[in-house]
Amino acid sequence: MLIRRPDDVLPSEITPREVYFNRRQWMAGAAGLALTASLPKGLEAAPLSGAKSPFSTDEKKTSREDVTSYNNYYEFGTGKEDPAAKAGSLKTAPWTVKVDGMVGKPAEFAIEDLIKSPALEERIYRMRCVEGWSMVIPWVGFPLADLIKRVEPLGSAKYIAFETAFRPDEMPGLDSIFPVLEWPYVEGLRLDEAMNPLTLLAVGLYGETLPNQNGAPIRLVVPWKYGFKGIKSITRISFVDKQPPTSWNKQAPSEYGFYANVNPNVDHPRWSQATERRIGEGGLFAKRRPTLMFNGYAEQVASLYTGMDLRKLY
Ligand SMILES: Nc1nc2c(c(=O)[nH]1)N[C@H]1C(S)=C(S)[C@@H](COP(=O)(O)O)O[C@H]1N2
Ligand SMILES: [Mo]
């Protein structure tokens, strides 16, 4: 059982700085892995804040405990508890994000520099997983559009492809005998979706740098799409002229499309998408909530899809 702490207390307030750093150094040693698993989550996190965003929802936030202990991150196993238990083995420093392809200024960004972005904001977003559950998460991040402008995309660039780190030594899920997905995990967006002001590169949540299970040190957040579009622990972003392959679409094309816009009117072939269970809301007897078109962000994004048949392009 993990030690719990109130949602609003930062680990830096509980642990004196010296103790915190000594412990980190010690963890880097041979006993590191076993120790990481028994520590309270977030102990290694550093405080990180951003300006309040007008794009935030005022719905009740999902507790930090739920946000950081009920996760999908198949590189660490397929169980919801696997990422919190196992993702501590991913080394998130040093870390760089390579940006290449059809851009005028290809670049390799060090994570420290990205985290210092003056565009950092706190964005409280509704998140909807294709499996039928949802959360409300206070992310800290900056608009993907900011990074896009810095690398000056060429006119030929129409899509952006994203790639997660591929580290068999640090990701126990990668050597499964029956891999669920082809690795590395890849995702993609159309350039106009990527430029939309709602699209975020998140580097933190709940006022701290991202926990590993949530995609440290940097992950994508696209609040009007199903959760699987939110690729974690990104190492590469490539500008391309054709729709890039995406992991879940390759795995089961009839179940998971490239667009993956949240849509209560288009069922998954094996279940309805009309309603959702909000994580943390009273167990078995909690009423399911109706799922909203574009997850409630229609006003900001519906115009991206005018004229498209969203039944075919799911
Ligand atoms: N690299 C990678 N990214 C990933 C996944 C994954 O398995 N691997 N799972 C996706 C899915 S299905 C969901 S619902 C979200 C969950 O994000 P969270 O755990 O931070 O809530 O991460 C997405 N990003
Ligand atoms: Mo998901």
Q: What is each CA distance from 60 to 155, 276, 281, in whole angstroms?
A: 42, 15, 11
- Kindly state whether residue 69 falls inside one of the protein's structural domains: yes
Tokens 């690795």 — which residue? 183
Of the pLDDT bands very low, low, confident and very high (cuts 50, 70, 90), residue 284 is: confident
- 195 occurs within a structural domain: yes
Max intra-chain CA distance, the chain:
58
Instruction: List, as residue ranges, the binding site for Mo-molybdopterin.
Output: 71, 74-75, 129, 164, 214, 219, 230-232
Residue 57 lies in a domain: yes
Is 302 within the bounds of a domain?
no
Residue 44 has a pLDDT of 66
How many domains does the chain contain in total? 1
- Nearest CA residue ID for atom 14, ligand 1: 227
Domain encompassing residue 54: 10-124+140-222+234-248
Give the C-alpha separation, 69 to 310, whole Å.
Answer: 33
Pick the ligand that lies closest to the CA of residue 74.
1
pLDDT tens digits for range 97-151:
999 999 999 999 999 999 999 999 999 999 999 999 999 999 999 999 999 999 9
Q: Which residues pair with 239 in a beta bridge?
A: 101, 160
Ligand 1 pocket by Cβ (under 6 Å):
71-75, 129, 164, 185, 214-215, 227-228, 230-232
E-assigned strand segments in the chain: 51-52, 96-101, 107-110, 121-128, 133-143, 159-164, 186-190, 200-205, 208-209, 219-221, 234-240, 275-278, 289-290
For the chain, give the mean pLDDT: 89
Q: How far is the CA of 72 from the centre of ligand 1 (A)?
A: 5
- The whole-number average pLDDT for the span 144-163 is 98
For residue 26, pLDDT beyond 60: no
pTM above 0.85?
yes
Which of 180, 161, 164 is CA-nearest to residue 255? 180
Judged against a pLDDT cut of 60, whether residue 202 lies above it is answered with yes
Q: Pick 1 or 191 by higher pLDDT.
A: 191
Convert the pLDDT of each residue in 248-280 to its tens digit: 999 999 999 999 999 999 999 999 999 999 999
Let me know if residue 194 belongs to a domain: yes
Q: What are phi and psi of 85, to 5 degrees?
A: -80, -30
Distance CA 16, CA 89 (A): 24
Alpha-carbon distance of 167 to 172, in angstroms, equals 9
Residues 239, 153: contact at Cβ < 8 Å? yes
User: Is residue 47 a part of any domain in this protein?
Assistant: yes
Cα(269) to centroid of ligand 2, in Å?
16
Query: CB neighbours (10 Å) of residue 82?
Result: 19
**Ligand 1 atom closest to the CA of 74, numbered from 1:** 7
Q: Whose CA is nearest to atom 16 of ligand 1?
A: 72
Residue 174, domain CATH: 3.90.420.10
Percent of the chain having pLDDT more than 70? 86
Residues with Cβ within 8 Å of residue 273, at least 6 apart in sequence: 130, 132, 262, 263, 264, 265, 266, 267, 291
Q: Exposure string (b/e) for 164-173, b if CB count within 10 Å is 16 or more?
A: bbebeebbbb
- Using CA positions, which residue lies closest to atom 12 of ligand 1? 228
Q: With 70 as the cut, is the pLDDT of residue 22 above it? A: no
Closest CA to ligand 1's atom 5 = 73
Specify if 82 maps to a domain.
yes
201-207 mean pLDDT: 98
- CB under 8 Å to 160, separation ≥6 — which residues? 148, 188, 189, 191, 194, 237, 238, 239, 240, 244
Residue 116 lies in a domain: yes
Rounded CA gap, 57 and 124, in Å? Answer: 6
Compute the distance from residue 185 Cα to the ligand 2 centre, in Å: 13
